[in-house]
Amino acid sequence: MDFIANIISSISGYMYSYILIVLLIAAGIYFSFRTKFVQIRLLRESIRVIAEPKKDKDSISSFQALMVSTASRVGTGNIVGVTGAIIMGGPGAVFWMWLIALLGGASAFVESTLAQIYKKKGSDGSYGGPAYYIKQALKAPALGGVFAVFLILTYMGGFNALASFNLTDFVKAYVPSDNATLYIGAVVAILSAVVIFGGGKRISKATQVIVPIMAVAYIAVALLMIILNIGSFPSVIASIFTGAFNFSSVAGGVFGAAIMNGIKRGLYSNEAGIGSAPNAAASADVSHPVKQGLVQMLSVFIDTLLICSSTAFMVLCAGLDPSGYLDASGNAMSGLYIQESLGVNFGAFGGYFITAALALFAYTTVVGNYFYAEMNISYLYKNALNNKPFMFCYRLLAVIIIFVGAQFSAGLAWDTADVLMGCMALINVPVCIILGNTAFKALKDYTKKKKSGESLEFKAADIGVSGTEYWK
């Protein structure tokens, strides 16, 4: 197992030290300029759009699609991932998380708009995602299949195993048994099965209730932490920026660690550009594809600029030295770091709160992740959703993975998830660059109609696209 873990760790280090850093930042800059910084320019419009009701009763609304994607984005990475990034890369890692989120907003807009344009009709509304726009727009069904396989491996496999591991790692301290990981893993698997076996609609209904509640509560505690430590808050902000641009630390590797860990954990958390959120975006009932692009853009900001920042401020305001939370193997003791940080101001309550928050984050993550996996099994096997024995086995496998993930080691869990996520990005980002003009034309069509007061009804022919199922 150690041999496999070392290989995966080496692959992860290479991908995020060289290839993905360049690809993601370059793509984010390109999309930002081509959309005239849509993530800033139309931020207010994105908030307005989520309140629009759906027209098709069999589909899900923009708000429900936002909650499904946010459920997947807002997960254990927002707590464990952020604290781990600070431990490994210092406070400067936070800045690079912010940067990848700002640029990622434009990437999220493009990929989700494309998913809407090329979505398919189903018996229970619409569906789609990168696999589908790769097949239809690029005429590359085999590449779409490869992407679908990586997505299933990433979300039903790597990410859900990681979420289960992170939850178990937090909770096991409260279970006085040598078999704590087995018991906790079993409970998480059973609770996940309740929603997973209900399919996409049950997932969207569950997340639209849980996600807003947990996000508001988490941000509220972070604000209270800032207020209680308001005197040190300016120095916290200063440490984030000085750490991000501490070029004198290049020789010691601190500067590089801040960038790598910030971007790695930022990408894991907000998922912009890797091709996950478009699967939720395609299922939303909207009058114009751009609307859902704007909604998913907003989800990136909710995840990173609100939730991840809340975690960062919680631990940095406490004033504990993050470098002291490395175990003998060099792994970040993220759970202990944030628990003790909250304990500075809230005592034992801090530990209980962060454990409860992570439990909810992990739960919504695993059910949201499964939603994506189910969308893509339909690409590989067209009649999958109608084949009840097959779907039973598929959902059972998802539940088993959640249980097994609880038994993983920290390094293997994180590195496996990072490598699989990176493979998705290596396919989806270049595809979005190739197909980007279609999303840019859709944005131009939307802003033109809105400015002139025309109906925001979309037809694919308006932007020179043919052969779509929804926008004829």
3-state secondary structure the chain: CHHHHHHHHHHHHHHHHHHHHHHHHHHHHHHHHHCCCHHHHCHHHHHHHCCCCCCCCCCECHHHHHHHHHHHHCCHHHCHHHHHHHHHHCCHHHHHHHHHHHHHHHHHHHHHHHHHHCCEEECCEEECCHHHHHHHHCCCHHHHHHHHHHHHHHHHHHHHHHHHHHHHHHHHHHCCCCCHHHHHHHHHHHHHHHHHCCHHHHHHHHHHHHHHHHHHHHHHHHHHHHHHCCCCHHHHHHHHHHHHCCHHHCCCCHHHHHHHHHHHHHHHHHCCCCCCHHHHHCCECCCCHHHHHHHHHHHHHHHHHHHHHHHHHHHHHHCCCHHHCECCCCCECHHHHHHHHHHHHHCHHHHHHHHHHHHHHHHHHHHHHHHHHHHHHHHHCCCHHHCHHHHHHHHHHHHHHHHHHCCCCHHHHHHHHHHHHHHHHHHHHHHHHHHHHHHHHHHHHHHHHHHHCCCCCCCHHHHCCCCCCCCC
Q: By mean pLDDT, which of 24-33, 60-69, 101-110 is the weakest?
A: 60-69
- Looking at residue 34, its pLDDT comes to 96
Output 255 or 133, whichever has higher pLDDT: 133
Q: Is the pLDDT of residue 256 over 60?
A: no
Query: What pLDDT band is residue 111 in, cutting at 50, 70 and 90?
Result: very high
pTM: 0.82
Q: Can you name the CATH fold of 2-447?
A: Amino acid/polyamine transporter I (1.20.1740)
Q: By mean pLDDT, which of 75-84, 192-201, 298-307 is the weakest?
A: 192-201
Query: What pLDDT band is residue 252 in, cutting at 50, 70 and 90?
Result: very low
The average pLDDT across 205-224 equals 77
Q: Is the pLDDT of residue 313 over 80?
A: yes
Query: What pLDDT band is residue 297 in, cutting at 50, 70 and 90?
Result: confident
Q: Is the pLDDT of residue 5 over 90?
A: no
Q: How far apart are CA 94 and CA 108, in angstroms?
A: 20
- Looking at residue 138, its pLDDT comes to 92
- Looking at residue 250, its pLDDT comes to 39
| 75-89 pLDDT tens trace | 666 777 788 888 887
The average pLDDT across 247-253 equals 43
- Looking at residue 14, its pLDDT comes to 74
Question: And the tokens for 342?
Answer: 């909250």
- Looking at residue 148, its pLDDT comes to 93
| Residues of the chain above pLDDT 70, percent | 83
Query: What pLDDT band is residue 299 in, cutting at 50, 70 and 90?
Result: confident
- Looking at residue 385, its pLDDT comes to 76
* Residue-range domain boundaries for the chain: 2-447
In sequence order, the β-bridge partners of residue 122 are 125
The answer to whether 398 and 189 are in contact (CB under 8 A) is no
- Looking at residue 248, its pLDDT comes to 46
Highest mean pLDDT range out of 95-109, 120-134, 396-410?
95-109
Question: And the tokens for 87?
Answer: 């431990």
The average pLDDT across 140-158 equals 90
Query: What pLDDT band is residue 66 in, cutting at 50, 70 and 90?
Result: low
State the chain's mean pLDDT as an integer. Answer: 81
